Chain A
Amino acid sequence: MKTTRREFCALGAAALVGLSLKSDRAIAGRFVNDSFQLGHLLRDGARFPAPRQVIRIPLVIVGGGMAGLSAAWRLQKRGFADFVLLEMNEQPGGNSRWGENEVTRYPWAAHYVPVPGKEAEYVQELFTDLGVLKDGKWDERYLCFDPQERLFLHGRWQEGIEPEPGTPRDREQFRRFAELMQSFRASGGFTIPLEIGLSRKHAALDQISFAAWLENNGFNSKPLLWYMNYACRDDYGALAAETSAWAGIHYFSSREPQEKGPLTWPEGNGWIVRQLLSRVGQFVRGEQMVYRIQRNKTSFRVFAGDTEYRCQCVIFAAPTFLAPYLMEGMPRLHDFQYSPWLTANLTLETIPQSRGLQPAWDNVIMDSPTLGYVDAMHQSLRTFADRTVWTFYWALAEGTPAANRQMLLEKDWAYWKEAILTDLGRVHKDIRKCVSRIDIMRMGHAMVRPAVGVIFSLERSRLRNSDDRLYFANSDLSGISIFEEAQFHGVTAAQRALRALGC
């Protein structure tokens, strides 16, 4: 083939461009851990094949997230082994699931546990079992290494997530807010687990939004309000205007301000799941979606996959809103709303540059709709890390949960990839040169939303105290989706079930 002079020049130019321009990396990735397809089968009343076998067993746990696994942990500790745990997904763990690649393990959602206070007895017991708490001392390997948090504002990273108050007025409001929270803390009404301190004395706070409460109390400092909204998005997936004031206050007054934690692991709370699975894994059946629970006089029929379980007790540890779809005759629930979330794990071939403070564990960007990212290698003992995985968190808080769920379903992977890179590109100009893979997990009902009136809802307290051989155990019973609540309800349900079974 003869090459004309023009073609030759064009080739040469192309070669030069190829040599001189350092192009962005090709980024691989996909949606992972999707579970809405299964959920929608239930919602749409799909027909399931008749069971091919019947298994008689005293107790069935539905749901293998933290609540279900905690129930199993308590049963096993009490020497009870006649039970089975049914998990819809292949991998148990729920919001504490984790992933692993050639660089590190990493979390898919929940990634830390604050150092538990004295009220969180079961958490202390669990951590003693797991060797995290030894002779009253926390193993320092599991306490978050320094530097823990940084916030990007005014063009650089500052230490800590609380924005530095700019004006004397800001400073005064931060101080006054801290004082108010201290008095709420001292009142004993805001505890973890929530049920221990819950008192009607503070019920009025559940009747207004956190934003309204802040306004009523004269808080209008911009950095302070940003911080309040960030806290609500972070723990509840909602804005302060859609969060109960009680829940907003709980976030700030349920823990000691000067704690040395939190406890964290490269794979986040997946570490706890792994430890629990090593103890109770033999009871767990994965890919077993429960599609019907039928109550008879003295027993239950639980249908999952090709099996029917006949049992005396059921611990329902899956999200509570699913129960009416499974149980004949159970009315729909009104006080259980959930926030949709998106998390992504980004594999980084080199560490992006940052201005200001050195990389921290939790990295938050001021005025971004997202929650920033957590570095999975932060908790490694390694002194030199050139590759890492970042877990990127995005609670879709603006707009209604239903509209956001719709958006989660409609937009493709490339859309979210671009959105994530654009957000990170604001603070790491070279991000596109560093990322090689972005896997994205969509969760339509990621965590329960403590909207106005939810904490003191009658519907919720009725389910919490149901004592007729079917025990609810999900963290959403508290109205707050955190590890300690899941564990508390899981253990409590297990204890009630043991009592009912006469063990």
Chain B
Amino acid sequence: MAILLFISVLLIAACGLIYELIAGTVASYLVGDSVFQFSTVIGSYLFAMGIGSFLSRFIHRGLAYRFVWIELVVALVGGFSSALLFLAFAFTQGFQIFLYLIVIVLGVLVGLEIPLLMRIIRDRYHFHEVVSHVLTFDYIGALFASILFPVVLVPQLGLVRSALFFGIVNAAVALWSTFLFRGQLFSPRRLQVMCVIVMALLAAGLANGKRITGLAEDNIYADEIIFSRDTHYQHIVLTKWKDDLRLFLNSHLQFSSRDEYRYHEALVDPGLAAVPVPRRVLVLGGGDGLAVREVLRFPQVESITLVDLDPEMTRLFSTHPFLTALNQKSFLSPKVHIINADAFLWVDSSQDIFDFIVVDFPDPTSYSLGKLYTTVFYSTLSHHLSQQGLFVVQSTSPMFARKSFWCIAETIRQAGFKIYPYHVYVPSFGEWGYVLAGWHDYTPPLSLPQGMRFLTVSGIPSMFEFPPDMAPVAMPANHLNDQILVRTYDHEWREISH
């Protein structure tokens, strides 16, 4: 009897500490600055426990009954604390409010537990024994939790499910106490039913823990969010950490300001510098204006047409000071004509001819985007390419999605072009690939515009060489009626993320 009682003390102590550790860890993980997060979480938790201890004096009757209820509330709040914090971070602006609210509620309740428990059992033992035993097991529980947390829980269960698991333990202690203290309870049966309900809720959460984190992680970014907007077409997020500005569209990284020049110089210059007289340029996608910035380095270019679906996107990159600094106000150039339209429909209906075309669409993650990588798309595009012209297609990573990359290359080839695939290393993306295509043989340029940070004339030819781990693989072309690329791409990226 006694040992069972003290084991439950040990368990509640462990639970209390686990919730505190989880709150601190989630906060450091999501917001960063772990010293500050842990200090403030632990401080406010301990202080709230003090409040709880103080409040315990106002509870006079029904001690055992109230103790079981407190255990149940702690089980629920603590059990779901981690999931709530992730979701609060992902979907609200008030993460800190949720964090300290949860920490204080838990602290107050946990602070009530031990004083109440001591009073419940004071008639069974001498006072000095009660204090000694309860506090001993309390501290053993703390040690137990602090070792279990980093060694077993976080690596095995993760933060969301660890909290839920200890919520169940807490509710089990509540259930257990209804038997331990049944002499002091008026209607233990009702409390037992409540305990079972709480345990079932937590168990359901445990079974769905993966989905909760998945839901939240889609909305979680490593750095501070400086801009976030749901437009009609997509979810735009800009994050900033020191001098690194990152753009995410529907949670997919589009660029990092630290190395985007590598991506965009490689996208535009090897092709454009090789076109004999580039007067008219078309950019499809590229609503960030960074490809246009590269095109504007070429004084011969007289007009640039940019077709991007989302007017919010092009407006943002025409007006936001951080972003216009990055694209050097490229959208404000009198040479640039912005058209907000669905690219395929525009290409299908327009009559204009261009000397160089930049195709900079998001990766083929869905059947809708997959349409923009088909034989029909490239043959429609061919009506817009001048005799000496070239076009370039961003073609995902030949390293991580090797089959997808070569599938895009084959699709362009089957649409009737000569193809020249190449790749560069962009640290925030990894190894990245492009396909340059045209009617004639391609010769790398003998000169480049001033001010390049990455490309050199002598370096360009080597970009067209593929080492064995990225070398061509035989792939069929991607057609509207089979969308083999979307299937391949999905398969390849899934393999990497698992």
Contacts and interface: CB of A to CB of B under 8 A. Distances in A.
Contacts of B479: 140, 143, 146
B483 A145 contact: yes
B351 interface: no
Q: How large is the interface on A (under 10, 10 to 19, 20 to 34, 35 or more residues)?
A: 10 to 19
A381 B482 contact: no
A143 B481 contact: yes
Interface stretch (A67-75, A382-390, A492-500): A382-390
Nearest to A359: B367
Nearest to A357: B367
A260 interface: yes
A385 B309 CA distance: 12
Nearest to B348: A381
Interface string A129-164: 000000000001101111110000000000000000
Chain B CB within 10 Å, residue with most, of A146, A358, A383: A383
A148 B374 CA distance: 16
Contacts of B125: none
Contact of B371 (A143, A261, A383, A386): A383
A383 B342 contact: yes
B232 A146 contact: no
Contacts of A146: 367, 370, 479-483, 486
A144 B481 contact: yes
A217 to B, nearest CB: 33
Contact of A381 (B344, B369, B481): B344
Nearest to A383: B368
Nearest to A145: B480
B376 interface: yes
B105 interface: no
A140 B309 contact: no
A383 B483 contact: no
Given A140-B374, A140-B376, A146-B367, A383 B480 contact: no
Interface string B104-148: 000000000000000000000000000000000000000000000
Nearest to A263: B481
Given A381-B371, A383-B369, A147 B345 contact: no
A260 B232 contact: no
A141 B344 CA distance: 12
B482 A384 contact: no
A252 B7 CA distance: 70
Contacts of B233: 384
Nearest to B367: A358
A359 B376 CA distance: 21
Contact of B309 (A145, A381, A383): A383
A331 to B, nearest CB: 48
Contacts of A147: 367, 483
Given A145-B481, A260-B482, A386 B232 contact: yes
B313 to A, nearest CB: 13
A260 B481 contact: yes
Nearest to A385: B368
A141 B380 CA distance: 11
A143 to B, nearest CB: 4
Contacts of B480: 140-141, 143, 145-146
A141 B368 CA distance: 14
Nearest to A139: B376
Given A143-B481, A146-B480, A381 B345 contact: yes
B371 A145 contact: yes
A118 B184 CA distance: 89
A21 B22 CA distance: 36
Nearest to B484: A146
B374 A383 contact: no
B447 interface: no
B488 to A, nearest CB: 12
A382 B372 CA distance: 9
Given A147-B367, A358-B366, A358-B367, A383 B481 contact: no
Contacts of A148: 481
Contact of B481 (A140, A382, A385, A386): A140
B343 interface: yes
A148 B479 CA distance: 13
A195 to B, nearest CB: 30
Given A260-B482, A383-B369, A140 B375 contact: yes
Interface of B: 232-233, 309, 342-345, 348, 366-372, 374-376, 479-483, 486
23 contacts: A140-B375, A140-B479, A144-B481, A145-B367, A145-B371, A145-B480, A145-B481, A145-B483, A146-B367, A146-B370, A146-B481, A146-B482, A146-B483, A147-B367, A147-B483, A381-B342, A381-B371, A382-B344, A383-B343, A383-B368, A384-B233, A384-B309, A384-B368
Given A383-B368, A383-B371, A384-B233, 18 more contacts: A140-B480, A141-B480, A143-B479, A143-B481, A145-B371, A145-B481, A145-B483, A146-B483, A147-B483, A148-B481, A358-B367, A381-B371, A382-B342, A383-B309, A383-B344, A384-B342, A385-B368, A386-B232
Counting from the closest, the 4 A-B pairs by CB-CB distance are A146-B483, A143-B481, A381-B344, A145-B480
